[in-house]
């Protein structure tokens, strides 16, 4: 069972932050209730928006803390659904099964070029660390550089992801 405990996908850049990436500011997050009979990892979509007039190249994402093991990371661009809406990656144990059209568009994170003023999701596959029943992460570090410039920069997303016995 997947529960979104913040309905708003509010994102904003931190005041004074000169980052070209707009990342979640802590007002949104997702919790999934783990099922003992279902294997981990779970996939979480972290919203990322390039707010500049220049393309940025994504390099890597890491998690702060030790409650999760990061098993993989992909860029999962949004797709238009048949009803005219837009599909984004939220939280899912098996996105290939539950959202095949969206999942088919995934791309490798390292080297992905995010065009100016574009929005995408970074899909993170995470498993709870051994012994963790209720695991959460509140900070994801996204390393990137401007297209044509090799200087790496880092922005921090404050989007809470959680795997728990109960969400509420």
Which structure tokens are listed for 8?
């708003």
Closest CA to 141 of 60, 51, 56: 60
Structure confidence at residue 18 as a pLDDT band (50, 70, 90): low
Domains in the chain, number: 1
pLDDT digits (tens, 9 = 90+) for 38-80: 889 999 999 999 999 999 999 999 999 989 999 999 999 989 8
Residue 12 Cα distances to 26, 74, 97, angstroms: 9, 22, 32
Answer whether residue 6 shows pLDDT above 50.
no
Structure confidence at residue 9 as a pLDDT band (50, 70, 90): very low
Output the pLDDT for position 28.
78
Structural domain that includes position 8: 2-164
Q: How many residues does the chain have?
A: 168
pLDDT digits (tens, 9 = 90+) for 107-153: 999 999 999 999 999 999 999 999 899 999 999 999 999 999 999 99
Which structure tokens are listed for 16?
């004074």
Structural contact between residues 61 and 71, judged by C-beta atoms closer than 8 angstroms: no
């Amino acid at each position: 069972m997947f529960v979104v405990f913040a309905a708003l996908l509010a994102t904003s850049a931190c005041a004074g932050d000169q980052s070209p990436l707009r990342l979640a500011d802590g007002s949104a997050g997702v919790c999934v209730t783990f099922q003992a009979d279902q294997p981990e990892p779970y996939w979480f979509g972290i919203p990322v928006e390039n707010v500049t007039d220049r393309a940025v190249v994504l390099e890597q994402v890491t998690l702060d803390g030790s409650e999760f093991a990061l098993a993989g990371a992909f860029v999962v661009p949004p797709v238009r659904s048949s009803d005219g809406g837009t599909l984004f990656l939220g939280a899912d144990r098996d996105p290939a099964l539950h959202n095949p059209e969206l999942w088919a568009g995934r791309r490798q994170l390292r080297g992905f070029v995010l065009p100016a003023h574009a929005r995408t999701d970074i899909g993170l596959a995470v498993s709870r660390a051994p012994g963790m029943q209720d695991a959460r992460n509140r900070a994801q570090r996204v390393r990137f550089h401007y297209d044509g410039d090799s200087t790496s920069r880092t922005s921090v997303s404050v989007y809470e992801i959680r795997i728990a016995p109960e969400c509420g």
